[in-house]
A and B are shown apart, each in its own frame.
Chain A
Amino acid sequence: MKAVLLGATNGLGRALAQEMASRGAQLCLLGRNLQALEKSAKDLEIRGAGGSVATVPCDLLNRECFDRALQDADAALEGFDTVVVTAGVFGTQDELEADLERASDLLMTNFTNTVMFCELARKQLLKRGGGTLCVFSSVAGDRGRKPAVLYGATKAGISHYMEGLDHRYHEEGLSAVLVKPGFVKTSMTAGMKPSLFAAEPASVARTVLNAIHKGKPVVYVPGVWSLVMLVIRWLPRFVMRRVGF
């Protein structure tokens, strides 16, 4: 496996990169904090990543750098076959309503720019006959809900986009893997009350990597969330208007 990871210095991305490294994958890390990238690269090399782990600067807020970053990553890996996007930002609905600038950045980062990045990655993968594009959405994208209107909307957009990609390009060899994490204990969720079924990043990473290998189009982590969301998706509107989640 030759994988490019955007957002691997933190949380789920890091755990996934560590799991990939332990299975000998060749990796290239994209991110904006060069110091953090170097530290992660060294860690992944010791954990068993194939060859040296390359690092390439790339900021999800700055669309101009995407093309260059993917080309550099392609050169470093001599042709990647997997692209993983875990980067993204989070804000509670109250925070985002109070700060429109922040809301705009979140919408831009989590949706528009993530999609623009994926479009470039998708083209690159298809040029060589296919590969895996794995993007992290969230269970928050399955239903519009009171505490996550804006964040949930970006994630719903990503889920929709990935489903479309799967339908359109599956035949051409693109495996679009959409990951919908429930509550995972990372710095993103620090300070929030852990929900039922809260998971640790390492166990989530193993499930995701198995899904990538099998080319599963949608994977809920932990798996129990597929049942929870099945129920929530079918809750009638008058119930959703009343409940707090």
Chain B
Amino acid sequence: MTRLSGWGRFPVVEGFERLSPDLGAACRGVSLTRGLGRSYGDASLPSCVGGEVAATRLGNCILAFDRERGVLRAEAGFTLEELDAIGRPAGWVSPVCPGTSQVTLGGMVACDVHGKNHHRRGTFGEHVTSLRMLVADGRVLEVSPTEEPELFAATLGGMGLTGHLLEVEVQLERVNSPWIAAEQEIASDLEDLVLRLRQASQTWPYTTAWVNALARGRGMGQGVVTKGRWAEPERSPRGNPPRLRRMGVPVECPGWVLGPVSMRAFNAGFYAAHKFKRQRRVMHPDRFFYPLDVLRNWNRMYGRQGLIQYQCVIPMDAEDGVAPITRFFETLIGCGGGSLLTVLKDCGPAGTGMMSFPRPGVSVALDLPMRGRSTQALVDALNRSVLAEGGRIYLAKDALTRAEDFHAMEPRLEGWNAVRRRWDPEGTLKSALSVRLLGDEA
């Protein structure tokens, strides 16, 4: 048995991982298929101790790439990093890039990931043209917006619980240069930050904001808004972006490394540094989209106990001003929640996926060191706040939400469950997450 965990290294489930380049064979008979295990919580873990899951890592063949139309079809274990390496020189990029390139196409579909351009391009699923799936009754099906559309919609953001993803076909985005022209601006408080973020999204395809979540009082919500677009070829460096050198965190750090003092120092330092940083520059796309990828195994910094990510979306439009998000931050600070990296993103309309996370409003992502019961209490409090605002949480990040809170947040659950049961009446597909939140039997 191996210790299996998500990127947050909490929870850990002892189980088996089936690895084979033949995905059809590897997925048959197991209750779940995982990719690189980059979801933070228990989404990619077996439903019980000793359970077996398949991993797609070795099934990473490209099956077709139409360089004229930008349509790529690959096995589910093909990674975004590989896609970037092949697509960029040909002038094609992924239409949606999440915060790391260490994810598989299968994982991007199952979590229906979003990126800095959600307000423009929606989630990854909006660009998927077809899927090949192994469903619970053993059939292998082609599933798309026109073939089995209901299963397709239930699979986008369905956390791998509607069938095993074998192949993914996606429409890529045409770019004239693989480099990014980026700008940054400082925001002095939460209101300033949200307004700047909203305004930036009017004209920029990629926007996001980093928040110093440890600043209190007048400085609450101070941060940096980052905006970007694909650079013009004449302003780009010559050639394709090189592979970046990566450093590793070689060992698990002791828990105090990311304690309250160091976190506060990091956040204050980060904010201060940006006051003096050059505001406008042409950047390596990896540094723009995947800044943390340069530090391999950064999750080890959080020590043995691991970390929790918490991401929610708070419904908000211009008329609401910033009151809802301010209430959420007050809850966070009131509970003493210290988040090392806090990221805000304004979301556009919800898409096709029946259980996809984004909806109009502002999404907040927090990195929290796992500290047992106090972290559970914090997540419970945050969930109550999200519930009061009518928002919802992102399953790819979740590890601690209680089933009753999740059900209260998700009126969509019943419809999705009905589709799931139609395709898997015996309930063979399940994960640690589905046992915790959906009431599946372990």
Instruction: Give me the interface of A with B, judged by CB distance under 8 Å.
Output: 9-11, 14, 18, 22, 36, 39-40, 42-43, 46-48, 185-187, 190-191, 193-194, 200-201
* 10 residue pairs A–B, Cβ–Cβ below 8 Å: A9-B21, A10-B21, A11-B58, A18-B60, A42-B61, A46-B62, A185-B57, A186-B58, A190-B20, A200-B57
B18 within 8 A of A: yes
A42-B21 contact given A11-B58, A187-B58, A191-B16, CB 8 Å threshold: no
Residues of A within 8 A of B2 (CB): 193-194
Contact A190–B19 (Cβ < 8 Å): yes
Contact B18–A48 (Cβ < 8 Å): no
Contact A46–B58 (Cβ < 8 Å): no
Given contacts A187-B58, A191-B18, 7 further A-B contacts (CB under 8 A): A9-B21, A10-B21, A14-B58, A43-B61, A185-B19, A190-B17, A201-B58
Contact A186–B19 (Cβ < 8 Å): yes
Contact B65–A46 (Cβ < 8 Å): yes
B48 within 8 A of A: no
Complex Cα spacing A164 to B20, Å: 35
Interface residues in B54-101 (C-beta closer than 8 Å to A)? 57-58, 60-65, 85-86
Complex Cα spacing A9 to B18, Å: 18
B442 within 8 A of A: no
Closest-CB distance, B293 to chain A (whole angstroms): 14
B195 within 8 A of A: no
Contact with A along B29-57 (1 / 0, CB 8 A): 00000000000000000000000000001
Q: Which partner residue on chain A sits nearest B296 by CB separation?
A: A203
Residues of B within 8 A of A47 (CB): 62, 86
Complex Cα spacing A11 to B17, Å: 15
Complex Cα spacing A48 to B87, Å: 11
8 Å CB contact of B20 from A22, A187, A193, A200: A187
Closest-CB distance, A42 to chain B (whole angstroms): 7
Q: Which partner residue on chain A sits nearest B18 by CB separation?
A: A190
Q: Which of B17, B21, B65 has the most CB of A within 10 A?
A: B21
Q: Which partner residue on chain B sits nearest A47 by CB separation?
A: B86
Q: Which of B1, B16, B60, B61 has the most CB of A within 10 A?
A: B61
Size bracket of the B interface? 10 to 19
Complex Cα spacing A34 to B2, Å: 33
Residues of B within 8 A of A22 (CB): 85-86
Q: Which of A36, A185, A193 has the most CB of B within 10 A?
A: A185
Contact B86–A39 (Cβ < 8 Å): no
Q: Which of A11, A191, A201 has the most CB of B within 10 A?
A: A191
Complex Cα spacing A191 to B54, Å: 11
Count of inter-chain pairs, beta carbons less than 8 A:
47
Contact A40–B19 (Cβ < 8 Å): no
Residues of B within 8 A of A193 (CB): 1-2
Closest-CB distance, B167 to chain A (whole angstroms): 12
Residues of A within 8 A of B18 (CB): 190-191
The 10 closest A-B pairs by CB, nearest first: A190-B19, A43-B61, A46-B62, A46-B65, A187-B20, A43-B62, A187-B19, A10-B21, A39-B61, A187-B58
8 Å CB contact of B62 from A42, A187, A201: A42
Complex Cα spacing A39 to B58, Å: 13
Closest-CB distance, B77 to chain A (whole angstroms): 11
Residues of B within 8 A of A48 (CB): 86
Residues of A within 8 A of B65 (CB): 46
Q: Which partner residue on chain A sits nearest B16 by CB separation?
A: A191
Complex Cα spacing A176 to B62, Å: 31
Residues of A within 8 A of B61 (CB): 39-40, 42-43
Residues of B within 8 A of A42 (CB): 61-64
Complex Cα spacing A10 to B432, Å: 30
Q: Which partner residue on chain A sits nearest B246 by CB separation?
A: A203
Complex Cα spacing A42 to B61, Å: 8
Residues of B within 8 A of A39 (CB): 61, 63
Complex Cα spacing A14 to B62, Å: 13
Complex Cα spacing A190 to B26, Å: 11
8 Å CB contact of B21 from A14, A46, A191, A200: A14
Complex Cα spacing A22 to B81, Å: 13
Contact with A along B1-34 (1 / 0, CB 8 A): 1100000000000001111110000000000000
Complex Cα spacing A187 to B55, Å: 10
Closest-CB distance, B114 to chain A (whole angstroms): 26
Q: Which partner residue on chain B sits nearest A190 by CB separation?
A: B19
Complex Cα spacing A191 to B1, Å: 7
Closest-CB distance, A49 to chain B (whole angstroms): 12
Q: Which partner residue on chain B sits nearest A33 by CB separation?
A: B22
Closest-CB distance, B50 to chain A (whole angstroms): 13
Complex Cα spacing A47 to B61, Å: 10
Contact A46–B86 (Cβ < 8 Å): yes
Complex Cα spacing A101 to B1, Å: 28
Closest-CB distance, A140 to chain B (whole angstroms): 19
Closest-CB distance, A204 to chain B (whole angstroms): 13
Residues of A within 8 A of B64 (CB): 42, 46
Q: Which partner residue on chain A sits nearest B81 by CB separation?
A: A202
Closest-CB distance, B57 to chain A (whole angstroms): 7
Q: Which partner residue on chain B sits nearest A200 by CB separation?
A: B57
Closest-CB distance, B159 to chain A (whole angstroms): 23
Closest-CB distance, A10 to chain B (whole angstroms): 6
Complex Cα spacing A185 to B58, Å: 9
Residues of B within 8 A of A18 (CB): 60
Residues of A within 8 A of B1 (CB): 193
Complex Cα spacing A187 to B54, Å: 11
Residues of A within 8 A of B58 (CB): 10-11, 14, 186-187, 201
Complex Cα spacing A138 to B21, Å: 21
Closest-CB distance, B28 to chain A (whole angstroms): 15
Closest-CB distance, B32 to chain A (whole angstroms): 16
Closest-CB distance, B264 to chain A (whole angstroms): 35
Closest-CB distance, A51 to chain B (whole angstroms): 16
Residues of A within 8 A of B57 (CB): 185, 200
Complex Cα spacing A191 to B26, Å: 12
Closest-CB distance, B18 to chain A (whole angstroms): 6
Complex Cα spacing A36 to B59, Å: 12
Closest-CB distance, A20 to chain B (whole angstroms): 14
Residues of A within 8 A of B21 (CB): 9-11, 14, 36, 187
Complex Cα spacing A48 to B86, Å: 8
Complex Cα spacing A193 to B85, Å: 32
